[in-house]
Amino acid sequence: MKLLLIEDDPDLREVIQTSLQRERCVVEVARDYREAVSKLFIYQYDCILIDIMLPDGNGLDLLREMQRRGIKHNVIIISARDAIEDKVEGLELRADDYLAKPFHLAELKARIRSVIRRSQQAGECLIRLGNVEIDPAHFSVEVEGRAIEMLRKEYDILAYLIVRPNRLISKETLAESIWGDSIDQADNFDFVYAQIKNVRKKLREAGASIEIKTVYGLGYKLVTL
């Protein structure tokens, strides 16, 4: 799961980032409006956490710009401003949730999971495709009820692809989603291929009815057999 945290308070930003990273999330941060724009309209995220009050702008303006450009992301507003007007405006600008500060980190994590489930899994807790089932709460994979042991990055790759079946995913997009935005500076993406190879082998040996196909020169696609 790849998140973008837009928050100017350094202490809160560090606490949230560290807590979410413990949940095996890839967490990119933006400290102000300008940095948020530099990331928001270039990279892809599973969920974006936006503070309304930024030192050089307003988080609601980010939502307006996303709407103007026709860009849809899962968005949770996190703000010390608990005014009903801000909540209404944020939700009308297509934010998915609004969480007033101060909040418990457990509640933030639950809301992130809920927003992503609604958008990717139609509200279901488990992800199923073919005879493969993933439980995101426990980072587990099963094929017809039999558990498959996967390393962290192997699991993350499968979890990313399984909610995007039959979609062509470039190596660059996959790498950024699993390893973080800075990975786009890598000289090559051979490390992605190595992980894909391991996932393929484990799925094949377990008798999975899904397979990761290589679209040469472009990327990967998860398909059912």
Q: What is the pLDDT of residues 148-206, one digit of tens each?
A: 999 999 999 999 999 999 999 999 999 999 999 878 767 778 889 999 999 999 999 99
Task: Please give the tally of structural domains in the chain.
Answer: 2
Residue ranges in the chain modelled with pLDDT below 50: none
Residue with tokens 């679209």: 215
- Looking up residue 83, the CATH number of its domain turns out to be 3.40.50.2300
Q: What is the per-residue pLDDT for 72?
A: 83
Closest to 179 (Cα-Cα) out of 14, 50, 25, 13: 25
* Cα 197–chain centre separation: 23
- Looking up residue 214, the CATH number of its domain turns out to be 1.10.10.10
Q: Does one domain contain both 90 and 180?
A: no
Q: Does one domain contain both 110 and 132?
A: no
CA–CA gap between residue 169 and residue 29 (Å, rounded): 24
Last residue of some domain: 76, 105, 120?
120
Which amino acid appears at position 202 of this protein? K
Closest to 171 (Cα-Cα) out of 211, 47, 161: 161
